Each structure stands twice: as C-alpha cells, then as structure tokens.
Amino acid sequence: MTQQPETLHYAVSVVGKDRTGIVAGIAEVLFRLGCNIADSSCTMLAGEFAMILIVSHPRPFSKTRLHDELKPACEGLGMSLSVRSLHADEAVRQETSDEICMISVYGADQPGIVYRVTRELAALGINIMDLNTKLIGTAEEPVYVMMLEAAIPEGQTPEGLEALLGDLKRELSVEIGVRIVTPVAF
Amino acid sequence: MPNQPILRYPHPVLKKLCNRVENIDTTILSLVDDLLDTMHAGPGSVGVAAPQIGVTLRVCVVDVSANRHGKDNNYGQLCMINPEIIARDGSAIMREGCMSVPDYTGDVERATAITVNFSEPDGTLREIAASGFEAVAIQHEMDHLDGILFLDRIVSIKTGLFRRKSYA
C-alpha cells in the first residue's frame, strides 16, 4: 500500500469478553468513517477477544473523533478502547533482512519465564516480532508454553543462540529450542 | 531474451487456469528461456511459472540447487512443460512467500515427496521423484498453472498450536 506522507495513523486496541460480532462491529464504524485498516492482529486470549489495529485515514482526522466514534460501539459490545496517534515515521512497514527464528520455551509453570527469557533476548540485541504464551496442563501440573518469533542479528545462528540461552534453560528447568522459520520466497 | 517483470497479484492472469502446451515450437522454447532468465534475475529465486510473466501456458522452471534448503537434494535446473503430479506422499508445513505476492508469508502444507512427469524442451518425456524442498518448490510453481496462490493454501495464522483449550 502506498501511503501519502501526510496520512494519519492510529493504533487502536479493543479488548473484552468474547462474543460474535466484535470484529464486524468495530470494522463497521471504521468503514463508515472511511478509515483503512492497515495491519491488524486479533486473537482470543482465554475468554477475551483482543484486537490491535493500525488504522489510517486519507484526510485530516482527529484522534478524538476516532475515539468518540468507536466508543459507543465498544460500549455496546462491552469492550475497552484505546486510541493512540502514530507519528508518520512510526507507521512504516518494518522490514528485516535478518534470519527469523521460532524460539519455543516450555516447562513447569513458574513466575518469571517471560521476563527472564525476554530480558536475555533483549540483552543479546534480539528483536521480538511475535509472541504467544499459554498456560496449559492441569491444575496440579501447570505447564507454561511461550512461542516467540524473533529476528536474530547477522552472524548469530540458532545453535549459537540456543547455547547462549543454555544457562537460563538449566536455571529455570525449561526447554528452550531455536529453529529457523525464515520464509522461503518462491 | 531478457528477464521479464514478475506480475503481482491482483493481476488477473495469476488466477487463470493455464492451457496445455500442444506443440513445443520456438514460441515455447523462447518462453522457457524467458522463465530461466527471469528466475536467474530474481535474487534467490528457485522457480518461476509462465503466468507469473503473463503467459497462460503450463510451463514452469525450478532450480533449488543454489538454495540452502535444496542444495543437497535436487535435479538441478528443471524446465517443465505440461507437468503433472502422478503421486504424492507425506506432508510438511513450510512458511512460504511468493514474488507475485510481496510482503506476505504464511504456513503452507505440501507433500514431502512427489512423482512428476513432464516434457523437456526437446520433447523428451521425463519422470522424476522429487522430495524435500525441491518437491515443495515444484508444487508451488505448479499451483501457479492452476491459478492457485499460496494464499489459497495457508493453514494457520501462527497460533495453530493454541486452538484446543476451552475456557468454558
């Protein structure tokens, strides 16, 4: 999509108890306003439905207007709403030429898995692009699963990264695996 | 012949069912050359199908020998006229992208081994048993001959692992 430099972008997030018609209700308001949904990601987390959308509008358009128009729809659906303006340079497509890895972390549930692993990755200069976590297993034996996709810097290998995470893996007694999922373009 | 520009969706040719080649004449040979030139011009390209350069004929080229996933298991440069998959086996998911659909990728399930027959540019009938990455590349290119894009085959939006749990 070619964007005009002056195009305004907003980050919109909507979260609330899942039910049918949430996406349609939000999308209807945006459509009526002439907004474009650029990138978006929506998912069900526990019984909650969470929407994150980057919304643009070709003409000058205030954040207040967008918020005020979405508010009744969100209230009708019992959803929380947040709208943030993006600077023009924030709303550009993020390209990466790095290798993309799937990092899987799982083990007995305990506090700090997300924190410790992501802190380590940040220290290694690794940028997280996508992250999902899920509590599975039973009440007696809860298991925590974290899957994240990250761009690893040039020169790093999955094996090297796995080795760097080895100490943490032993300390937390979790499994940590790293594998390349860089897409193949045909 | 020079390499040709790769058509991008929504160009309508990319959704067309391509016609069989009835005679391998000079037009077809020059199409094969164009496809090869186009494949070699694309950085890292491992295959091009005729509709990607605007020709609705069942011709595609594949060469995975320079790719890290395919370098140890391949038939080299394949010029396939009227290719047909006559057997398929196994299944694996790989994240694919396509020069005709830039800036998007998705997980696609493909057979891991296929038997394909096709005509060579010199008219010889050939049958090969491809596997691994080369099999995936052939299936991707052959899909183009049926107007199928990888977008038509995406099986998950990343979180397939997390579908089952009920919170009721």
Q: Where are the domains of chain A?
A: 8-90, 99-180
Q: What whole-number distance in Å separates Cα of residue A130 and Cα of residue A6?
A: 28
Same fold, A8-90 and A99-180: yes
Burial class of residue B141 in the structure, from the number of CB atoms within 10 Å of its CB (0-12 exposed, 13-18 middle, 19+ buried): buried
User: In CATH, what number does A8-90 get?
Assistant: 3.30.70.260
Q: What pairs with residue B155 in β-bridges?
A: none
Q: Are B97 and A186 within 8 A, CB to CB?
A: yes
Torsion of CA A15, A19, A24, A25, to 10 degrees: -70
Q: What pairs with residue A11 in β-bridges?
A: A54, A84
Q: How close B98 gets to chain A, by Cα (Å)?
A: 5
Q: Are B46 and A184 within 8 A, CB to CB?
A: yes
Pair of tokens at residue B87:
């057997």
Query: What residues in B contact A186, CB-CB < 8 Å?
Result: 45-47, 96-99, 137, 140-141, 150
B82-126 pLDDT tens trace: 999 999 999 999 999 999 998 888 899 999 999 999 999 999 999
**Domain B12-160 CATH assignment equals 3.90.1150.10:** no
Q: Residues B78, B84, B90, B94: is their CA dihedral positive or negative?
A: positive
Q: What is the C-alpha radius of gyration for chain A, rounded to an integer number of angstroms?
A: 20
| Fold observed for domain A99-180 | Alpha-Beta Plaits (3.30.70)
pLDDT for the residue numbered A44: 92
ipTM: 0.73
What type of residue is A160?
G
Secondary structure (3-state) at A32: helix
A117-146 pLDDT tens trace: 999 999 999 999 999 999 998 899 999 999
Q: Where do the DSSP E strands lie in chain A?
A: 8-17, 36-45, 48-57, 79-86, 99-108, 127-137, 142-152, 174-180, 184-185
